[in-house]
Amino acid sequence: MTTVLVVHGPNLGTLGRREPELYGTTTLAAINAALVELASSWGWQISVFQSNSEGAIIDAIEQRAGDIDGLLLNPGALAHYGLGLRDALAGLTVPVVEVHLTNIHAREDWRRRSVTAEVSRGLISGFGWRSYVLGLRAMHGMLSDTES
């Protein structure tokens, strides 16, 4: 069975109540449920991990690397300075799709560069919670060799 690890970085556990004018009112639990539902429709499995700690995220990725077929990642602010995370991603042999709720290119200057995107297959940003769904659909296309 195809397994995708979904990793949510710092502060994403507070989705739905943290700055709803920027990040919306959809909770992390609702995003995870939507991903599980979509993945299940393909016969896929989703494994979810969230942490506010870069080290814990790296540990989770390293521990699961041999058991996953792809990584869907919202690194949050780690995208902009998480060099340890970037290096961990560079060592993966599975596709990585980076997602962000907001359009990082339309925000503060420091948010416009993603060190983690440098080692990701692609980056989707600016579509709110739908960025995750679009990212999973992109992953499906890559792993299935289709344009789903």
Q: What's residue 23's pLDDT? A: 86
Window from 4-8, 106-110, 119-123 with minimum mean pLDDT: 106-110
Q: What's residue 112's pLDDT? A: 65
- pLDDT, tens digit, for every residue of 26-79? 999 999 999 999 999 999 999 999 999 999 999 999 999 999 999 999 999 999
Domain ranges of the chain: 48-58+67-76+87-105
Yes or no: say if 135 and 97 are a contact pair by the CB < 8 Å rule: yes
With pLDDT > 70 as the criterion, what percentage of the chain qualifies? Answer: 96
Q: What's residue 81's pLDDT? A: 87
| Catalytic (active-site) positions | 23, 100
Q: What's residue 125's pLDDT? A: 96
Q: What's residue 68's pLDDT? A: 98
17-45: burial string, b at 16+ Cβ within 10 Å, e else = eeeeeebbebebeebbebbbebbeeeebe
In the block, residue with structure tokens 């939507």: 34
Q: What's residue 110's pLDDT? A: 66
When pLDDT is cut at 50, 70 and 90, the band that residue 113 belongs to is confident
Q: What's residue 146's pLDDT? A: 55
Give the phi and the psi of residue 15 in degrees, each rounded to 5.
Answer: -55, 145
